[in-house]
Amino acid sequence: MNRVSVDSEDNLLIGGCKAIDLVEKYQTPLITYDVGMIRKTIRSLKQVFDEASLPYAISYASKAFATIAMYQVIKEERIHIDVVSGGELYTAMEANFPMEDVSFHGNNKSLEELKMALDLNVGEIVVDNFNELATLTQLAKERQQKVSIILRLTPGVSAHTHAYIQTGQSDSKFGFDIDSGQALDALKIALASEFLIVDGVHIHIGSQIFEEAGFELAIKKLLKTLANWRTLLNFTAKIINLGGGFGIKYTDKDDPKDPAELLKSLLDIVKVTLNQYDLPNASIWIEPGRSIVGPAGYTLYTVGTQKRVAGLKPYVTVDGGMGDNIRPALYQAEYTAVKANNVNAAVAEEVRLAGKYCESGDILIENQPMPLLRQGDVVAVLATGAYGYSMASNYNRNPRPAVVFVENQRAKLVVKRETYADLIKLDLPYKN
């Protein structure tokens, strides 16, 4: 089982608070974060960089979980963020996040989004494709504004992960392909612009990756490419962004390296390869999302109905599901759940933890060993902090849950529970 904290009565603790007390105060479904755990992960990554004596930036990939409170925590930890939409950028702005520490990603940024990013003077625009390059060149010229950019490259490396979260292979919707020469063409275009400043390059090979091998191949390919570009165009990257993708433990089947350990290995590879090509030290950036917030998130649900048919695995239904966590339905993501007031209870049976949404595919966990659960019991699904709330929907017109941050035994509501009134807020009558 994932490591969790319990008190002497076997109650699940989150940030030092009993999960069942949080439920009493905030009801369910409830998304909770152990903020101390988020900080600890960030600090462990910083330490690896400090020990490697490399210039660096850690950029939290905020698509994993983007709210004002989260951006405030990231700001307190003095790291960067990357955003992928005007909405994330707006949220960061409302959180007073320093815009020079923002990178703007996305494979189809609208003109309005690009203008917004230029108005706000974000630190880096990560340019993804030729259309964007043309638009940005034009925009920067019209505005006579210098714009710092990073080119997103596709290194032609497939990560060992679900196809939906692989991004580094040549046949990907993201980035300029290195192998076909697209990346070099993009660099030439960008360098020809009087207003674009090409600060560096970016790769991201996928998400929930456990093995070093894919990263190693990608890093070597990227640095070899940079060595070629120095020869061909006398170009030197000031920033080398290795992306995110560090895997986390969702179930006992997962055995990821600690992100700090993985980072250490990657930095060793970077150093050796920079040396091999006699490349100057660049600032090494990483963009972890899942590994920063994933393990720190716990979703608390109340058990409702059960369906039991002789010879079949029981369905135990909770008061949330695919609306607050689409990942199991979207790409068969697996999770672990525990009974919140008896984490180490003896297992009585294996159940399917089902959601309340009107889809047969709304099963949060297909196979969860559990004690006998009763209506009203609280279960906690572990490691839900990444791509859970940020992908939440109002499917079936269910309100989205509240989010609570817990740190040093204190809980703070950071996203209110939606109300039915919120659900119809944007609706307009067709007929009066």
Ligand X SMILES: Cc1ncc(COP(=O)(O)O)c(C=O)c1O
Residues contributing to the annotated binding site for pyridoxal 5'-phosphate? 245, 287-290, 387
Among positions 154, 158, 291, 336, the unique one binding ligand X when judged by CB under 6 A: 291
Among positions 123, 155, 200, 244, the unique one binding ligand X when judged by CB under 6 A: 244
User: CA dihedral in degrees (35, 37, 39, 42; nearest 10)?
Assistant: -140
Among positions 290, 327, 339, 400, the unique one binding ligand X when judged by CB under 6 A: 290
Distance CA 138, CA 118 (A): 12
Burial category of 140 from C-beta neighbours within 10 Å (exposed 0-12, middle 13-18, buried 19 and up):
buried
Let me know: does 349 contact 339? Beta carbons within 8 Å: no
Q: How far is the CB of 417 from ligand X (least distance, A)?
A: 26
214 near ligand X, rule: CB under 6 A: no
Distance CA 20, CA 395 (A): 27
Q: How far is the CB of 263 from ligand X (least distance, A)?
A: 12
- 279: Cβ–Cβ under 8 A, 6 or more apart, which residues? 223, 226, 227, 230, 236
Q: Which stretch binds ligand X (CB under 6 A): 136-144, 177-185, 281-289, 296-304?
A: 281-289
64 near ligand X, rule: CB under 6 A: yes
246 near ligand X, rule: CB under 6 A: yes
Residue closer to ligand X by CB (options 45, 196) is: 45
Q: List beta partners, residue 52.
A: none
Please, what is the end-to-end C-alpha distance for the chain in angstroms? Answer: 56
Among positions 214, 288, 323, 385, the unique one binding ligand X when judged by CB under 6 A: 288
- 211: Cβ–Cβ under 8 A, 6 or more apart, which residues? 160
Mask of contacts with ligand X, 378-417, x by CB under 6 A?
--------x-------------------------------
Sign of CA dihedral 23, 28, 29, 30: negative
Q: Which stretch binds ligand X (CB under 6 A): 89-97, 224-232, 240-248, 267-275?
A: 240-248
Among positions 105, 221, 327, 356, the unique one binding ligand X when judged by CB under 6 A: 105
Distance CA 135, CA 124 (A): 16
Let me know: does 38 contact 292? Beta carbons within 8 Å: yes
Nearest in space to 200 (alpha carbons), one of 171, 225, 168: 225
Q: How far is the CB of 337 from ligand X (least distance, A)?
A: 22
Q: Which stretch binds ligand X (CB under 6 A): 211-219, 226-234, 282-290, 365-373?
A: 282-290
Q: How far is the CB of 255 from ligand X (least distance, A)?
A: 17
Residue closer to ligand X by CB (options 64, 122) is: 64
Q: How far is the CB of 208 from ligand X (least distance, A)?
A: 6
Q: List beta partners, residue 317.
A: 354
Let me know: does 152 contact 174? Beta carbons within 8 Å: yes
356 near ligand X, rule: CB under 6 A: no
Q: List beta partners, residue 176.
A: 153
Among positions 123, 245, 295, 323, the unique one binding ligand X when judged by CB under 6 A: 245
- What stretches of 167-211 show up as alpha helix (H) in DSSP? 182-192
Of the residues 1, 272, 358, 424, only one is catalytic, namely 358
200 near ligand X, rule: CB under 6 A: no
Q: How far is the CB of 377 from ligand X (least distance, A)?
A: 31
Please give the size of the binding site for ligand X, defined by CB under 6 A: 16
The yes-or-no answer on residue 17 being catalytic is: no
Largest CA distance in the chain: 73
The two tokens of residue 120 are: 């706000």
Distance CA 121, CA 100 (A): 7
Let me know: does 243 contact 203? Beta carbons within 8 Å: yes
Among positions 200, 256, 289, 323, the unique one binding ligand X when judged by CB under 6 A: 289
Kindly list the residues in this chain that would bind ligand X in the complex (CB under 6 A).
Answer: 61, 64, 105, 167, 204, 207, 243-246, 287-291, 386
Active site residues: 358
